[in-house]
Amino acid sequence: MNQSTLDKLKQLRDDFSYYAPRLLKIRSKDGKLIDFSLNTMQRKIDSTIERLKAESKPVRIIILKYRQGGASTYTEGRIFHATSMNKLTNSLIVAHEEAASTNLFNMSKVFYDELPNELKPMRKNSNSKEIVFENPTTDAHDKQQNPGLRSRIKISTAKNTDAGRSATIHNLHASEVAFWDDAEKAMLSLMQAVPNTPNTMVILESTANGVGGYFYDQWQRAKNGESDFVPLFFAWFEEPNYRMAVPDGFTLTPEEQELKRKYNLEDEQLVWRRWCIANNCGGDPELFKQEYPSNDMEAFLVSGRPRFDVQVLMEYLQQCEDGKRGYLERVGSRIQFIEDKHGPLEVWEEPQKYEYYIGADVSKGLATGDNSAAPVFSNRYSLDALWHGKTDPDLFAGDLFNLGMWYNEALLTIEENNHGLTVINKLKPDYWNLYKRTSHNKLTDEVKQEIGWYTSEQTKRLAIDHLAKCIRERRLKIKSRKFIEECLTYVIEDDGKTNAQQGCYDDIVMAAAIDLYVMDQFATPVHSQIVATVSRAPETKQTFIVQPGGGVRHISEIEDEKHDDGEWFRKAGW
């Protein structure tokens, strides 16, 4: 073999962008086998990999993509190249479901079948689960003398959370990770099998599936530089083929003018966008954003089916800020707030002379992944505090007692379902202000009151619909990032029911929904109060209001200080 041939073989082994168009065949969209020439998206991925290799770093990439862009095809080609050209290399392809894994794996079979015979590595077997590049002989001596590459490409699905526990993995392709049932558990297993060495490659790729979940979290971590994964986002307008000739009389809509300004687009691209919306997206611009996002947050926000108004939630998110963290402790007859950055209680405003309402969603205890939650709302619709953490139900009862007493003996509404009954029974002897629901037995005509909120499909729908209305109308004053992020991942499912998105939680959402629904029935309206009298006599120090429905109600005592009316009103909660 002459030097020229050796040099060419070395380049084929070391340079994927040289290897792919010369040796790999892929199926085109019209069903033909064509040379694998890298497109715009694929060249960007390739240059990122080459940069990391040149820096002697393990290749770790997370890709947020539009559909049919070629990221999966590129990754399969890259893995086939690395496995079929090198010894002792193990590669694994994992997708969200069996059909998707098989489809990706079939690309590798086509790659192998279409290689020139002189460049095909020996293959021991090829089945629906793996290709093994090894001498297929049964002669032990022959196999010892010429074992072949002893490399393999294997497929699995994300449902097999132990896929990575049996062998070392050098190349991992995790496809459509945002749609995996338990991505966190599966990826934990897989990543333990990949050595942190420069000769390894991990590519996570997916279209978006709403805000929240493992893929969203890992994307945010990569963007913030909190992991070694390099984030690659591909906007629809980066694809050079997504453009059409501008017709006569074409004028831009205000939305298109903003897109043109924001992303420096050309009219040809906006003509294609308008055509795609009309013909491929049923005339729905939101569906276009889902399939062809312009930025990463748009991809996540429009790809799910959020129950609450996303635009309003994003406004709330911009206003979020950290409160003081800590816990409450009884010192004699008083409740004191103890600052502790690891405490479960976050406080934005300490107790004032307002009415307070606390909702409680009770977790199953320390052994589970979910948290107990207790948001504290004043009758100004302000979220003033949030208890959120893992604890056992009987201990949570003690935390709720302290929280309720601290916030002016607030009305506690505890979800009775499951372990909530433990909390209620623990609180009943000592805490007087517990929410009671009225039930009516139609057969016996018996009416009775029971402590706690009972969540059924009907009551859940009422509470969630009410929370949606409060958010849409911007009635709430919220600075809690945790609460807003849970709202963003609270979605409408295919059957019309609402729940936390797969891999996310809704304990704060449910506690707040219950709390606000009950509060609307019991709270003294703040904004519609009319002052009837303000007693200035030092010996009485009382204020009263006339309620919208009529009647006079005593609200609070004013501190024994000389203030003008405005200060008195403020202290009364107006």
pLDDT tens track for 373-417: 999 999 999 999 999 999 999 999 999 999 999 999 999 999 988
Burial class (CB in 10 A: 0-12, 13-18, 19+), 483: buried
Instruction: Using the Cα atoms of residue 257, residue 262, residue 266 and residue 270 in order, give the sign of their dihedral.
Output: negative
DSSP 393-457: HHHHHHHHHHHHHHTTSPEEEEB-TTTHHHHHHHHTTT---B-EEEEEETTTTEEEEEESB---H
**124 and 258 part of one domain:** no
**81 and 227 part of one domain:** yes
Domain count, the chain: 4
**195 and 342 part of one domain:** no
**270 and 361 part of one domain:** no
For 432-446, letters b (16+ CB in 10 Å) and e give eebbeeeeeeeeeee
Is 1 a domain residue?
no
**443 and 502 part of one domain:** yes
Measure the CA–CA gap between 413 and 426, rounded to whole angstroms: 14
**333 and 275 part of one domain:** no
Measure the CA–CA gap between 489 and 509, rounded to whole angstroms: 10
Is 309 a domain residue?
no
Per-residue pLDDT, 558: 36
The boundaries of the domain holding residue 431 are 318-522
Measure the CA–CA gap between 388 and 383, rounded to whole angstroms: 13
Residue 484, domain CATH: 3.30.420.240
**440 and 511 part of one domain:** yes
Is 310 a domain residue?
no
CA-to-CA separations, 216 to 67, 141, 183, 333, 505, in angstroms, rounded: 17, 52, 11, 46, 14
**339 and 459 part of one domain:** yes
Is 167 a domain residue?
yes
**226 and 166 part of one domain:** yes
The DSSP secondary-structure symbol of 326 reads: E
Burial class (CB in 10 A: 0-12, 13-18, 19+), 299: buried
Per-residue pLDDT, 569: 35
**353 and 259 part of one domain:** no
**Per-residue tens of pLDDT for the chain, all 574 residues:** 677 878 888 899 999 999 999 999 998 878 889 999 999 999 999 999 999 999 999 999 999 988 777 899 999 999 999 999 999 999 999 988 788 788 888 888 999 999 999 889 999 877 778 899 999 888 888 888 889 999 999 988 887 766 666 679 999 999 999 888 889 889 999 999 999 999 999 999 998 887 778 898 899 899 989 999 999 999 999 989 899 999 999 999 999 999 999 999 999 999 999 999 999 999 988 888 888 889 888 888 766 678 888 888 888 988 899 999 999 998 888 999 999 999 999 999 999 989 999 999 998 766 566 789 999 999 999 999 999 999 999 999 999 999 999 999 999 999 988 889 999 999 999 999 999 988 767 777 787 888 988 888 999 999 999 999 999 999 999 999 999 989 988 888 878 899 987 767 899 999 999 999 999 988 776 654 433 333 344 444 444 443 333 333 444 433 333 334 444 333 333 3
Measure the CA–CA gap between 77 and 203, rounded to whole angstroms: 13
Question: 534: which strand partners?
Answer: 543
Residue 177, domain CATH: 3.40.50.300
Is 4 a domain residue?
no
Is 311 a domain residue?
no
Is 242 a domain residue?
no
Is 459 a domain residue?
yes
Show which of 234, 259, 283 is a domain's final residue: 234
Per-residue pLDDT, 521: 87
Per-residue pLDDT, 252: 95
Look-up: residue for tokens 């505890």?
414
Show which of 234, 264, 294 is a domain's final residue: 234
* pTM of the full structure: 0.66
**343 and 472 part of one domain:** yes
Per-residue pLDDT, 1: 64
Measure the CA–CA gap between 175 and 206, rounded to whole angstroms: 6
| CB 326, CB 380: distance < 8 Å | no
Structure tokens at 145: 């003398």
Measure the CA–CA gap between 479 and 423, rounded to whole angstroms: 28
**354 and 491 part of one domain:** yes
One-letter amino acid at 238 equals E
